[in-house]
Structure 1
């Protein structure tokens, strides 16, 4: 996408030179004992971008681009990212879907203090699972994500997968008007219902782009929903495509049928057989075109589908001994403000608890306390008619069943809980910490649908 370069505070003048404000050194961790092969600098800063032709939108970006720089690391290796905040407000980075130590999870006042303007923080962790993931803030989330602070994190498999070509596609629905100015990221009436939707949909920052792919190739399409609110009804009519992974984790390859609902925070990896040169195909959200996939002649390519992706090393829950815990996602008929949530009204709760984004000095009791190493079954019940993409930090769960549709069990970190649906998922509590459990419709999260699961 095109940019008008306006780097506030000179933050992007040089990615190698960053300032650490007063107190920043207390969060500097130094280089890990095992030298990282994948080192990245990430800088969050304001930047004018052109979403609407001829108009400027005052966005927030990582490294001067949207989506933020694609970070790549090989499975099982160390990832070290030195992050510097050149925004005018505190922020953090949460590594969505990654099983990592609690100190690296990026939740303010749970895993770390917020990174203040001018400060730096080093995130370093091993990446146990291959797949498609992403990163974003967990401070002032509706605004910071709404303004563009998102980027892909790709963990490559240890061995070649058979895919010679791949492309990452980040889907986002921007809250802008016809002149490119931001509109409200959260409207109370909408937050209490489906969530506040934007009006301009983009793929990798462009509205309805044309994406050229090699004719005859089988391309791995990594599709990430980095939106605040929108659930996409993905479809690719009239093509050959197969699902290879959901939310980072491999599944037995199966045909990509009429459509797949991809909620906020969710990802899907498709193997797409590119048709002959000169052919165009629409990647669509229901009947609406998201992007045009073109095909150009770039020589001959293998036409054999790649073998299934290797499974990630996720612990298999013991269903025979698992304890069952119920989680009710409820709508609350109130407009009362909550001083602990900066005066925002609370419309939602989990098991009778309404918890917004964490603030200094505000304590919320955990929704559940789990014993380290024990297996659990979570029963998610949606008490409303609106979709809730339920996301769990730090742990991976296995989807077992639903009372609304057939489930082929699979591992994930985010499950799209439908209207009045009850779903059962299972996990092993094998990562100690206080982990967030929340809806990834951001203004649902900020108005009550957030709590913690404590593993010790």
Structure 2
């Protein structure tokens, strides 16, 4: 494996870091392989933020923002990000949902060495699929994501989307008290249940914001669940709103309906017809208001619903030739008197195996080895009373069906597996490497609900 981690202590001046008080800066690194490049220098560093009015929270930020700087490129372009670590701890960046080479996947001790304090790492990869994605560390995840190291990555359609207006809305619930101080990001007894929830909801780092949108226009809302635990029951009462994409992948547009359950790591692209100037809509999590969407005066006349977004170039699995594998997601049955002992808990397991986050060699023992280019059907069986958003690195899969709900098959990288649900997914194993396969409730992942899938 060719690791490109490099020392930066002697060369900060050459990075163009002078005057970066606002954080990350977009800059030119050179002509890309395909089309015009969108390149960034992205710095992770401490940042005080005001989540609770009148109080400072000691967050960690990408590009001087928490959630982090929005990165953008076009489908088919090479994205080049020079990541500089100015934290006091090692870290990495995982590009959630992007089909990329294993060397760029950001999993420490599997695809790269950790980026140490004072060092930098150059991430460089083609973005083959348009859609709404995000980035975050893949080490000490409860702590690092909990402190704010999450950010959106938007891959624009190569030929345009048909939308004139759009907004990115990053959903995150923070584990803070009334004075803005962090509370525990992971509590073992909560990790053994649904996960450790935060208490303060936010959109783009603000609690219950008022978001102005152009009245009468159809606006693309990219909603990203960057939370470590919470599944949002998204609804917009009284709104004209349609779903255009799930987890970056287009679907045939359909009404949002009563609500959509958006688990940790998942994304949804909505088209909203903004009401008249002076009118307001309530974006909600179940009955709880997340934000007020306000129609503001617009010079443009009302716009039509855009056509369906173009499909991403994902290989269609051949179900007739596919090999079938079963994965049981279950509690590891740890005795309650042991839960509060030690630092590494094994509370969950996949097919009887609990991932040990302190063991750097876990990925050397993959739970399944797939043949490159072959077709597979995975049967996902949730044998617990809690939801698990199941995420696969490096590849997209097609959700086929469920024994709990009717599903129109669609491509995704994260599927919210309901309690006691069995679902089937299918994909072509077309990306070589050792890929993580895990629940995206972070303290479930860190207490056993993760495995490695090798494609060779």
The two structures have a TM-score, normalised by structure 1, of: 0.92
Say which SS state the counterpart of residue 159 (structure 1) adopts. coil
- For 2:65 and 2:114, the matched residues in 1 are separated by 23
Are 2:379 and 1:385 aligned?
Answer: no
Are 2:261 and 1:261 aligned?
Answer: yes
Per-residue deviation, 1:303: 3.0
Alignment correspondent of 1:443 = 443
- For 1:139 and 1:307, the matched residues in 2 are separated by 40
Alignment correspondent of 2:219 = 219
Say which SS state the counterpart of residue 148 (structure 1) adopts. coil
Per-residue deviation, 1:345: 1.2
- For 1:361 and 1:373, the matched residues in 2 are separated by 26
Alignment correspondent of 1:4 = none
Per-residue deviation, 1:300: 2.8
> Could you tell me whether the CA contact under 8 Å between 2:356 and 2:362 is conserved in 1?
no
- For 2:210 and 2:55, the matched residues in 1 are separated by 21
Alignment correspondent of 2:239 = 239
- Equivalent residue runs for 1:185-334 within 5 Å: 185-334=185-334
Alpha carbons of structure 1 residues 375 and 361: separation in structure 2 relative to 1, 3 Å: closer
Alignment correspondent of 1:3 = none
Q: C-alpha root-mean-square deviation of aligned residues, in Å? A: 2.3
> Could you tell me whether the CA contact under 8 Å between 1:336 and 1:345 is conserved in 2?
no
Alignment correspondent of 2:159 = 159
Alignment correspondent of 1:350 = 350
Alignment correspondent of 1:53 = 53
Are 2:88 and 1:88 aligned?
Answer: yes
- For 2:69 and 2:143, the matched residues in 1 are separated by 20
Alpha carbons of structure 1 residues 15 and 243: separation in structure 2 relative to 1, 3 Å: farther
Per-residue deviation, 1:367: 1.1
> Could you tell me whether the CA contact under 8 Å between 1:356 and 1:445 is conserved in 2?
no
Alignment correspondent of 1:403 = 403
Per-residue deviation, 1:299: 1.7
- The superposition leaves residues 114-159 of structure 1 with CA deviations (integer Å, 9 ceiling, x where unpaired) of 0000000000000000000000000100000000001100000011
> Could you tell me whether the CA contact under 8 Å between 2:33 and 2:78 is conserved in 1?
no
Per-residue deviation, 1:160: 2.0
Alpha carbons of structure 1 residues 411 and 435: separation in structure 2 relative to 1, 3 Å: same
Unaligned runs of 5+ in 1: 1-8, 19-28
- Equivalent residue runs for 1:135-146 within 5 Å: 135-146=135-146
Per-residue deviation, 1:358: 6.1
Alignment correspondent of 1:24 = none
- The superposition leaves residues 221-275 of structure 1 with CA deviations (integer Å, 9 ceiling, x where unpaired) of 0000000000000000011000000000000000110000000000000000001
- For 2:113 and 2:35, the matched residues in 1 are separated by 25
> Could you tell me whether the CA contact under 8 Å between 1:337 and 1:344 is conserved in 2?
no
- Equivalent residue runs for 1:74-113 within 5 Å: 74-113=74-113
Alignment correspondent of 2:64 = 64
Task: Please identify, of 36-45 and 445-454, the stretch whose mean Cα deviation from structure 2 is larger.
Answer: 36-45
- For 1:356 and 1:228, the matched residues in 2 are separated by 19
- For 2:342 and 2:126, the matched residues in 1 are separated by 35
- For 1:356 and 1:247, the matched residues in 2 are separated by 28
Per-residue deviation, 1:16: 2.3
- For 1:51 and 1:15, the matched residues in 2 are separated by 31
> Could you tell me whether the CA contact under 8 Å between 2:231 and 2:261 is conserved in 1?
yes
> Could you tell me whether the CA contact under 8 Å between 1:348 and 1:444 is conserved in 2?
yes
Alignment correspondent of 2:6 = none
The two structures have a TM-score, normalised by structure 2, of: 0.92
Count of aligned positions: 435
- The superposition leaves residues 385-435 of structure 1 with CA deviations (integer Å, 9 ceiling, x where unpaired) of 100000000000000000000001000000000010000000000000000
- For 1:84 and 1:219, the matched residues in 2 are separated by 34
Alignment correspondent of 1:176 = 176
> Could you tell me whether the CA contact under 8 Å between 2:39 and 2:80 is conserved in 1?
yes
Task: Please identify, of 298-307 and 133-142, the stretch whose mean Cα deviation from structure 2 is larger.
Answer: 298-307
> Could you tell me whether the CA contact under 8 Å between 1:336 and 1:346 is conserved in 2?
no
> Could you tell me whether the CA contact under 8 Å between 1:335 and 1:346 is conserved in 2?
no
> Could you tell me whether the CA contact under 8 Å between 2:232 and 2:263 is conserved in 1?
yes
- For 1:41 and 1:337, the matched residues in 2 are separated by 47
Alpha carbons of structure 1 residues 438 and 272: separation in structure 2 relative to 1, 3 Å: same
> Could you tell me whether the CA contact under 8 Å between 1:388 and 1:418 is conserved in 2?
yes
> Could you tell me whether the CA contact under 8 Å between 2:66 and 2:205 is conserved in 1?
yes
> Could you tell me whether the CA contact under 8 Å between 1:96 and 1:134 is conserved in 2?
yes
> Could you tell me whether the CA contact under 8 Å between 1:355 and 1:364 is conserved in 2?
no
> Could you tell me whether the CA contact under 8 Å between 1:82 and 1:122 is conserved in 2?
yes
Per-residue deviation, 1:365: 1.2
Unaligned runs of 5+ in 2: 1-8, 19-28
Alpha carbons of structure 1 residues 93 and 335: separation in structure 2 relative to 1, 3 Å: farther
> Could you tell me whether the CA contact under 8 Å between 2:332 and 2:352 is conserved in 1?
no
The ranges of structure 1 where at least 4 consecutive aligned residues each deviate by more than 2 angstroms after the TM superposition are 12-18, 29-36, 300-303, 335-338, 356-364
